[in-house]
């Protein structure tokens, strides 16, 4: 682990409350957004690449979304629909600004990052429904967005990686949209089973085992115990026929085995998969380029994958 990552991890232990300790979620979410937009936040979470434009639009059934596109590149362009993380309980499209803009520039693509309803006020499957509405809206409005509807990928980190995996399954089962690729960044693909990486990294920075379990309880609410693949995509009856995948995991992350086991499920079903575990990385590192140096390499790897597949 890089020295600056170690310092950040120690600070997180002191200042960050677990989600199970938060009394006022709206205030907590607003505070996180203010931090992201502050000078210190931009040093931690990264700045939007100036070679990309950023626009706010409304998608799906009324969800807010941020659109990043490279400047001075003629369309129609491929599109990446990116779902933010945050345990289905917190998070926003802004937290992916650094990642989305760099991918837009590097892959010469339009990156659309929608918001979605959050638990516990809107528990499962509200987030799934919003993400599906956003994905299909993007494809239906391809001309308006300047994108090529035959070159679409989904992407997400953590809870967003869960949602991206679910979108790939839903699109396959519905006969479209026809997705070219899925980029799953330290995804949570299983709601209940406890695997070795969770024990090994039970007190890891950013995400602990206790946090994981609290997020699941808040997200599923009264449906806790469901085996619906829209909650746990690894439980789908089949993973055959899914788009090519790039799965990224972090060494110091309780969710590492979620990504590794989903890789195994996809490979067993004949899906081409690229898989990389990033040494020294912690959960959420692709939203933390200022404190996790390997984030730059990881985003370059995503760009290479998307340019090859889109």
Q: Compute CA 22 distance to the chain's CA centroid, rounded to the nearest angstrom.
A: 22
The DSSP symbol for 74 reads -
**Is the Cβ–Cβ distance between 173 and 203 less than 8 Å?**
no
Adjacent-strand bridge partners of 248? 185, 276
Compute CA distances 261 → 12, 116, 154, 187, 279, whole Å.
28, 27, 19, 11, 18
Question: Is 287 one of the catalytic residues?
Answer: no
**Is the Cβ–Cβ distance between 40 and 288 less than 8 Å?**
no
**Candidate list 49, 130, 157, 253, residue with the active-site label:** 253
What are residue 269's phi and psi, to 5 degrees? Answer: -90, 5
Give the position of tokens 């990928």. Answer: 153
**Is the Cβ–Cβ distance between 186 and 161 less than 8 Å?**
yes
Question: Is 158 one of the catalytic residues?
Answer: yes
**Candidate list 63, 158, 168, 232, residue with the active-site label:** 158
Question: Is 38 one of the catalytic residues?
Answer: no
| Residue 301: count of CB within 10 angstroms of its CB | 17
**Is the Cβ–Cβ distance between 207 and 151 less than 8 Å?**
no
Query: Which residues carry out catalysis?
Result: 158, 253, 283
């Amino acid at each position: 682990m890089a020295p600056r990552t170690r310092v950040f991890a120690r600070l997180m232990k002191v200042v960050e409350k677990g989600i199970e300790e938060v009394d006022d979620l709206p205030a907590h979410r607003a505070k996180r957004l203010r931090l992201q937009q502050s000078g210190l936040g931009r040093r931690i979470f990264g700045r939007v690449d100036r070679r990309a434009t950023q626009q706010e639009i409304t998608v799906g059934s009324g969800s807010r979304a941020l659109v990043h596109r490279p400047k001075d590149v003629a369309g129609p362009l491929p599109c990446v629909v990116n779902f933010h993380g945050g345990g289905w309980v917190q998070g926003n499209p802004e937290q992916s600004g650094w990642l989305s803009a760099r991918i837009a520039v590097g892959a010469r693509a339009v990156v659309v990052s929608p918001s979605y309803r959050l638990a516990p006020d809107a528990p499962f499957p509200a987030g799934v429904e919003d993400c599906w509405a956003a994905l299909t809206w993007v494809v239906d409005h391809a001309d308006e967005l300047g994108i090529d509807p035959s070159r679409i990928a989904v992407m997400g980190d953590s809870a967003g990686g869960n949602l991206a995996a679910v979108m790939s399954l839903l699109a396959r089962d519905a006969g479209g949209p026809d997705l070219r690729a899925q980029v799953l960044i330290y995804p949570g693909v299983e709601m209940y089973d406890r695997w070795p990486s969770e024990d090994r990294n039970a007190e890891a920075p950013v995400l602990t085992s206790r946090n994981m379990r609290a997020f699941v309880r808040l997200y599923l609410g009264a449906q806790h115990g469901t085996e619906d693949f829209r909650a746990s995509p690894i439980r789908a009856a089949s993973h055959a026929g899914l788009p090519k995948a790039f799965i990224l995991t972090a060494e110091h992350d309780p969710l590492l085995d979620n990504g590794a086991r989903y890789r195994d499920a996809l490979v067993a079903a004949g899906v081409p998969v690229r898989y990389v575990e990033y040494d020294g990385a912690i959960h959420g590192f692709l939203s933390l380029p200022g404190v996790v140096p390997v984030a730059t390499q990881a985003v370059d790897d995503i760009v290479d994958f998307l340019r090859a597949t889109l």
